[in-house]
Amino acid sequence: MPDIKPTDPEAERAGGRIALWLDAEDLRRIASHCCCSDDTPEEERERCGRIRFRASAAMHKHGSSR
Ligand SMILES: [Zn+2]
């Protein structure tokens, strides 16, 4: 059985994260929106990719839970 831990609000806060709820349409937009260009710094590209990855992962979860 996979060890799935529910989100611990305190641990998330300690990690500098905040709770954020978005509806499916917002997630879809974030997941598909990339404003990086050829001269975007690597750090910005990484952040952009991370955000889009999480948005699409959250969207996937949303879709498979119903
Ligand atoms: Zn981007």
CA 36 to ligand 1 center in whole angstroms: 4
**Confidence band (pLDDT; 50, 70, 90) for 29?**
very high
Sign of CA dihedral 25, 18, 54, 32: positive
Higher pLDDT, 2 or 12: 12
Highest mean pLDDT of the ranges 3-7, 13-17, 31-35, 46-50: 46-50
pLDDT of residue 45: 96
Ligand 1 ion local residues (Cβ < 5 A): 34-36, 48
Question: Which residues have CB under 8 Å from 40's CB, separation 6+?
Answer: 48
CA 65 to ligand 1 center in whole angstroms: 28
pTM of the complete model = 0.66
CA distance 24 to 28: 6
Mean pLDDT over 25-49 rounds to 93
Contacts for 6-11: CB closer than 8 Å, 24+ residues apart: none
CA 63 to ligand 1 center in whole angstroms: 24
